[in-house]
Amino acid sequence: MEGTCNCGAVWVKVNDPNLFGSNRRGHICHCTNCKKTAGSDYATNLTIETEKVTITGEENLSVYSDPRTGSGTPVDSPIKSMTPLYKGKTVLKLGIFPQIPNPEWESFVVNRQSWGKPLEGATYYKTKSMGEKVEGGVV
């Protein structure tokens, strides 16, 4: 899977032959920080082993740190984030890719818009990923 930023100065390649296999991958996040970073109602993210990610032009990547997150992990950029919660992994913002895998879970469903629908077949977390689960995806 390959993608670029808007200007093409940063190129990201994910080397994982099972990315579009039968298992779902990635997640949808409805937290305020991800929504602002994505410029949308939610963000699609992929948490993947760092060795499976190649970033070309990373020196061109604008980096900032937003520490005021609901998960307690700073958001670093609109392309990727690193967190001590997932050692050895990179969190990629999937909006830069033309095709993305079917998300496995939704986090911060407490912030989903009232008109938004739960993603069928996903696991739902009230707030942060791997935290308190919500049956049916509705709070």
In SS3 terms, 76-139 reads as: CCCCEECCHHHCCEEEEEHHHCCCCCCCCEEECHHHCCCCCCCCCCCEEECCCCCCCECHHHCC
pLDDT digits (tens, 9 = 90+) for 19-43: 998 889 999 999 988 888 888 999 9
What span, in angstroms and rounded, lies between the C-alpha atoms of 16 and 116? 31
pLDDT in tens, 95-132: 999 999 999 999 999 999 999 999 999 999 999 999 99
Per the CB < 8 A criterion, the answer to whether 30 and 37 are in contact is no
27 pairs with which residues across the strands? Answer: 45, 105
Cα dihedral: 109, 115, 121, 124 (round 10): 10
Residue 125: what are its φ and ψ, rounded to 5°? Answer: -120, 130
Mean pLDDT of 5-13: 93
Which top CATH class is 2-137?
mainly beta
* Residue carrying structure tokens 């008109």: 115
pLDDT digits (tens, 9 = 90+) for 49-100: 999 999 999 889 877 666 677 666 666 677 888 877 788 999 999 999 999 9
pTM: 0.86
